[in-house]
Amino acid sequence: MKKVWVYLENGIFLEARSFGAEGTRTGEIVFNTSMTGYQEIVSDPSYAGQFITFTMPEIGNVGTNADDMESAGAYAKGIIVRNYQKRYSNFRAQSSLEDFLKRFDIMGITDIDTRFLTKVLREEGSMMMIASTEISDAGELKKILSQSPRIEEINYIKEVSTKKSYLHKSATYDAKEFCYKAPPKPKAKIIAIDFGVKRNILNNLTQAGLEVEVVPHNFKAEDLIEKYEKGEIDGVFLSNGPGDPLLLKDEHKEIKKLIDAKIPMFAICLGHQLLSISHGYPTFKLKFGHHGGNHPVKNVKTGRVEITAQNHNYNVPENIKEVAEVTHMNLFDNTIEGLKYKNSPIFSVQHHPEASPGPHESAYVFEEFAKAVVECKKNRSI
């Protein structure tokens, strides 16, 4: 393994070893507390522009495979692990994590104290960093980092979103019968706006009985409203995605038009934040964000606590309660995790119900969306 040098914007300078792509990269460093699922995490488009520090110390043990991809590519700047296991063992594995990272041009950094890094981020918050297999001088790395754009200044949506529309077809693996099963016959059709959508979100939408057409981020609201009025579509889904939602000015305007048209909508993560902004309530950045598969969220309506997967640095403000009812709360820091907008067929969640950490405690939201869409469809036909 080659040496790699890491410089954080707070002045910390570390030496480690590289096992992925080589070169010099800048990005935002965050930590993820998930115990499993490293391939799904790295292939989540929401991590575009970030270095992911895994708190799980052993990474690479089960290799990688095509079925566990959450998107067509992987967009993280790099991953940071305590111990990388080059020798993998799993009957589903097709390649090593090292080969996976090199294929998608992602840096891999190992032999580093991830506990120390996590404590730094916990105390000081997420920050920018630079990693290089070429430059060992801390002063030069500091200079390059200071001259590089910050993650909140970069629109990664253009990179991760689909370039053309397509119908999503899915099959779900039945672990009991060891086979894939086709989704049920659709009861309604929706448009999924791709800001960096995860494949399993689309799978869950189809499994809930919805026909899903995925469209690029630069959609035109007038087109969707016209299709809705003609009965060609019955609802809209706003996906997850990377970066600062306040940067997406064009998307705010188009979503506002969909809101005014009272089209049934459901949103996850970035989509949840965009709905808040489009209603006139700007988001704010959390200190170190929520990244992991063990975050307790309380369903305010039922009182049940759901174990959820999270991946976001931004959150909706408290005064959103002026136009929406809070449906879910994060029990770690009491931030808002779910909303149902007043006098509108629109709701959203901040966490990732498709990631199955509970494993299925939050999956009901897809069924609720399908039910709402079908109900609105029936009312419109009367």
Distance CA 38, CA 96 (A): 12
- Judge if 114 and 205 occupy the same domain: no
Q: Choosing from 269, 279, 306, 351, which is the catalytic residue?
A: 269
Structure tokens that stand for 223 in this block: 């087109």
Do residues 78 and 20 touch, judged by C-beta distance below 8 A?
A: yes
Domain boundary among 137, 153, 169: 153
List strand residue ranges (DSSP E) for 60-203, in order: 78-80, 83-84, 107-110, 127-132, 166-167, 172-174, 179-181, 188-193
**Does the pLDDT value for residue 19 go beyond 80?**
yes
- Judge if 304 and 280 occupy the same domain: yes
- Judge if 113 and 247 occupy the same domain: no
pLDDT for residue 178: 61
**Does the pLDDT value for residue 174 go beyond 80?**
no
49: region left, alpha or beta (phi > 0 left; psi from -120 to 50 alpha): left
Domain ranges, residue 181: 157-381
The whole-chain average pLDDT of the chain stands at: 95
CA 174 to chain centre: 25
For the chain, the domain total comes to: 2
354 is catalytic: yes
Cis preceding linkage at 345, omega within 30: no
269 is catalytic: yes
- Judge if 242 and 123 occupy the same domain: no
pLDDT for residue 360: 76
CATH number (domain holding residue 369): 3.40.50.880
- Judge if 187 and 328 occupy the same domain: yes
pLDDT for residue 355: 78
pLDDT for residue 359: 73
pTM: 0.96
Domain boundary among 96, 129, 153: 153
**Running DSSP on this structure, what letter comes out for residue 352?**
B
**Does the pLDDT value for residue 36 go beyond 90?**
yes
pLDDT for residue 380: 84
- Judge if 148 and 222 occupy the same domain: no
**Does the pLDDT value for residue 203 go beyond 70?**
yes
**Does the pLDDT value for residue 381 go beyond 80?**
no
Q: Which amino acid is at 100?
A: F
- Judge if 12 and 109 occupy the same domain: yes
Rounded mean pLDDT of 357-366?
A: 84
Distance CA 144, CA 80 (A): 20
Q: Choosing from 252, 272, 279, 352, which is the catalytic residue?
A: 352
352 is catalytic: yes
Q: Which residue in this structure is represented by tokens 């035109």?
A: 220
Domain boundary among 100, 130, 153: 153
pLDDT for residue 361: 83
Residue 374's alpha-carbon distances to 100, 200, 339, in angstroms, are 41, 22, 20
Distance CA 137, CA 146 (A): 14
**Does the pLDDT value for residue 175 go beyond 60?**
no
Q: Choosing from 279, 312, 354, 376, which is the catalytic residue?
A: 354
